[in-house]
Amino acid sequence: MSRKAPSGDFDDEGLEVSEPKTWAAGVPGVTTALRQSYEQMGVRRTALTLLRVNQKKGFDCPGCAWPEGDHRHVAEFCENGAKAVAEEATTRRVTREFFARHTVAELARRSDHWLGQQGRLTEPMLKRAGSEHYEPVSWDEAFGLLASELNALDSPDEAVFYTSGRTSNEAAFAYQLFVRSFGTNNLPDCSNMCHESSGSALSETIGIGKGSVLLEDLGKADLIFVVGQNPGTNHPRMLSALERAKKEGARIIAVNPLPEAGLMRFKNPQRPSGATGQGTTLADRFLQIRLNGDLALFQALNRLLLESEAPDAVDRGFIDAHTHGFEAFEKHVLGLDWDDVLEATGLTRGEIAAALGDVLGAKRIIVCWAMGLTQHRNSVPTIREIVNFLLLRGNIGRPGAGVCPVRGHSNVQGDRTMGIWERPGPEFLDALAAEFGFEPPREHGLDTVDAIRAMRDGRAKVFLGMGGNFVRATPDSAVTERALRGCRLTAQVSTKLNRSHAEAGETALILPTLGRTERDEQESGPQFVSVEDSMGMVHASRGRLAPASPHLLSEVSIVCRLARAALPESGIGWDAMERDYDVIRDHISRVVPGFDRYNARIREPAGFTLPHAPRDERRFPTATGKANLTVNALDVLRVPEGRLLLQTVRSHDQYNTTVYGMDDRYRGVKAGRRVVFVNPADVSGLGLEDGAMVDLVSEWRDGVERRAPSFRVVAYPTAPGCAAAYFPETNVLVPLDSTAEVSNTPTSKSVIVRLEPARS
């Protein structure tokens, strides 16, 4: 059996490759963003919109979850935030005539870029069973249809309710409440593919699945590790914070198989010198690690710390007072095999010893990370080992130190706090039961990977997506597409057209919704929503633009109206919640810890910070009552002869599955995305040449051939044995069953591939 990428993937015309850049941002960044904004919104709307991003009375940038901080620049946005805003505030529209012109099958053949470029969705659309087209439908009919399909299921567990991470706290809370009163915990979310590994590792070791660092801590740190993260593209505002930290004397170590431009050098576009000057060299040390080598690296540092003669190498006082499991951990780490470490990391002993020197010279250490750590089979053990590393020197629970998983979607952390989780704890369910007077289901629900399996096997039949692009974000594209097409009904609450509308169930609904930038008027007047950033800060977000169409409903309205249609007997006050979001926030304040006086505190200009026991009190609410040091077996991922380990990454011109444009400026790629970055020694070792056309074929133990055709080989300074290509084009290569231990996150950063001469 062979699985191939859909034909809609191909949009490369005139692909050009040049030398990668060694610096990020500065003038080209801002001009690129403004050009794309003007194209999408025009000049006046651009100025009006971009000036309100992340301002205290404006809206939260839909770009990423990096916090804003107190000292906001007039233009507290970045190039890629501006692109995310332009994408939503575009003046282009997808109308009923558009759907009359294009069949669903035709849409499925278009590229992600083309689909996204069509503009904002404007009215609810229905594809009836057997029909080739979407046609307009009234909201009432849409809700009636969804309600009757849901109620026709043999069990509520046959429905899947996905959430992407842009959904506000208010909408997320109402949504999970609806889903649980309907009777299931099937609430998979994008987190399952993103920071689930971080949440799993941190909950077990420090007692809370969130980072322990606030923005001000970066300025107090002596040493900051940036591991498995490309902030120049994905969290550009983080670069300013790193630059400030350096001014305050911090050293930075970048750990990455790729020399990412933003980490190497940075020109701050918010400052006059950024436009002309040399910029700042951010990383003092670059450890060019092999993919999946991080567990070995941090375990090696831990061994060196344990063996060090330096008097304060290990903080014994902290270990004795606050941690559990030291002996077992020490015994394990002292048995670490150096050959394994060198093989797994691709680093020399000298490089690791030099990094140890930085560590010993630093009183306060922060480790930041993103997808480079979370999307491997051993991601959870890797992050646990990083916690070991920090605990050894007492680097959790004091200023300038701690764990800093940098979240992706702007409210992905808040959605989890609001109960978007397939494995809710009993305290949360008890609080829901007490507040709303119903018995929520207790059995765990399906996460993203299990939801795909359930749809594939016919155990789940109705899919509702609250934002996102499920079919494109998930692994094993061919399997996922079939799973969705096999559903009785798929419904997507969306702002923009994407492939999940085209890979539709027998019956399919598009439910168009307001974006962050837009005014949300309800019966009681204008509403605002709230979000939680990567550091647990909660603040309000208010859109000011006129909605893209008069027919749009807010996500809150969609949930409340669906709940009324599907659960007519429900005693829950859906009307009141829809009319006034303060009512939702009052419910939240009684159900979710840390949200007391929510309505008052959210009206403070800077919002408020959620409590975090390890950060605030050095209290670790784990099973042992202490921070847990853990034993993490190192098994080296060995790639067979003639194969490469492939990671799937974002280009500079995309937001997850939304492709803004076809360039990846920092990596020197123009006008195309079907490229595979390979170390020059591997290019020649494999008998290839720079510029050769190859198919990427993934090898997995199930023997299924997964092929992504026609990629151009780009000789690139990545770590030897490692390759990189863009997602979502390469999702077809990630086997559904290849997931991380514990977190079940697809292993999108370690796919074993061979490169074959292109067939076509």
Ligand X SMILES: Nc1nc2c(c(=O)[nH]1)N[C@H]1C(S)=C(S)[C@@H](COP(=O)(O)OP(=O)(O)OC[C@H]3O[C@@H](n4cnc5c(=O)[nH]c(N)nc54)[C@H](O)[C@@H]3O)O[C@H]1N2
Under the rule (CB under 6 A), what is the footprint of ligand X? 63-64, 80, 164-166, 190, 193-194, 227-230, 233-235, 255-258, 260, 289, 291-292, 294, 370-372, 375, 408-409, 466-470, 473, 493-496, 498, 513, 515-516, 555, 647-650, 654-658, 727, 730-731, 734, 748-749
Q: Find the Cα–Cα–Cα–Cα dihedral 270, 275, 277, 279, rounded to 10°.
A: 50
User: Is 725 within 8 Å of 648 (Cβ atoms)?
Assistant: yes
CA distance 195 to 199: 6
CA distance 401 to 387: 12
Q: Which is nearer to ligand X, 280 or 375 (CB)?
A: 375
Q: Residue type at 32?
A: T
CA distance 425 to 207: 13
CA distance 513 to 494: 6
Q: Taking CB within 5 to 8 Å according to partner kind, which of Mo ion, ligand X, none is near residue 651? A: none
Q: Taking CB within 5 to 8 Å according to partner kind, which of Mo ion, ligand X, none is near residue 619? A: none
**H or E element in which residue 611 lies:** none
Q: Which is nearer to ligand X, 204 or 415 (CB)?
A: 415
Q: Residue type at 584?
A: I
CA distance 239 to 405: 15
Q: Which residue stretch of 189-197, 224-232, 323-331, 544-552 sits at the interface with Mo ion (rule: CB under 5 A)?
A: 189-197
> Three-state SS string across 272-287, please?
HHHHHCCCECCCCEEE
Q: Which is nearer to ligand X, 181 or 233 (CB)?
A: 233
Minimum CB separation of residue 492 from ligand X in Å reads 7
Minimum CB separation of residue 181 from Mo ion in Å reads 28
Q: Taking CB within 5 to 8 Å according to partner kind, which of ligand X, Mo ion, none is near residue 298? A: none
C-beta atoms surrounding 53 within 10 Å? 24
Measured in degrees and rounded to the nearest 5, phi and psi for residue 498 equal -150, 180
Per CB under 5 A, 370 contacts Mo ion: no
Q: Taking CB within 5 to 8 Å according to partner kind, which of ligand X, Mo ion, none is near residue 650? A: ligand X
Q: Which is nearer to ligand X, 235 or 585 (CB)?
A: 235
Q: Which is nearer to ligand X, 386 or 567 (CB)?
A: 386
Q: Which is nearer to Mo ion, 415 or 476 (CB)?
A: 415
Q: Taking CB within 5 to 8 Å according to partner kind, which of ligand X, Mo ion, none is near residue 734? A: ligand X
Q: Which is nearer to Mo ion, 65 or 223 (CB)?
A: 65
Q: Which is nearer to ligand X, 294 or 695 (CB)?
A: 294
Per CB under 5 A, 746 contacts Mo ion: no
CB-side neighbour CA atoms (13 Å) of 585: 22
Residue 495 carries which DSSP code? S
Q: Which is nearer to Mo ion, 194 or 221 (CB)?
A: 194
Minimum CB separation of residue 412 from Mo ion in Å reads 6
Q: Taking CB within 5 to 8 Å according to partner kind, which of ligand X, Mo ion, none is near residue 658? A: ligand X
CA distance 19 to 80: 22
User: Is 740 within 8 Å of 375 (Cβ atoms)?
Assistant: yes
Per CB under 5 A, 194 contacts Mo ion: yes
- Residue 694's DSSP bridge partners are 711, 757
Residue 640 carries which DSSP code? P
Minimum CB separation of residue 177 from ligand X in Å reads 17
- Residue number of the CB atom closest to Mo ion: 408
C-beta atoms surrounding 568 within 10 Å? 9
Minimum CB separation of residue 2 from ligand X in Å reads 19
Minimum CB separation of residue 302 from ligand X in Å reads 16
Q: Taking CB within 5 to 8 Å according to partner kind, which of Mo ion, ligand X, none is near residue 345? A: none
Per CB under 5 A, 408 contacts Mo ion: yes
User: Is 498 within 8 Å of 657 (Cβ atoms)?
Assistant: yes
CA distance 616 to 627: 14
Q: Tokens in use for 673?
A: 């995305």
Minimum CB separation of residue 55 from Mo ion in Å reads 25
Minimum CB separation of residue 568 from Mo ion in Å reads 37
Residue 370: which residues within 8 A CB-CB, separation 6 or more? 195, 228, 229, 230, 234, 235, 405, 406, 408
Q: Which is nearer to ligand X, 6 or 325 (CB)?
A: 6
Q: Tokens in use for 615?
A: 């950060």
CA distance 364 to 694: 47
Minimum CB separation of residue 32 from ligand X in Å reads 12
Please tell me the count of residues contacting Mo ion according to CB under 5 A: 2
Minimum CB separation of residue 198 from Mo ion in Å reads 11
Binding site for Mo ion (CB under 5 A): 194, 408
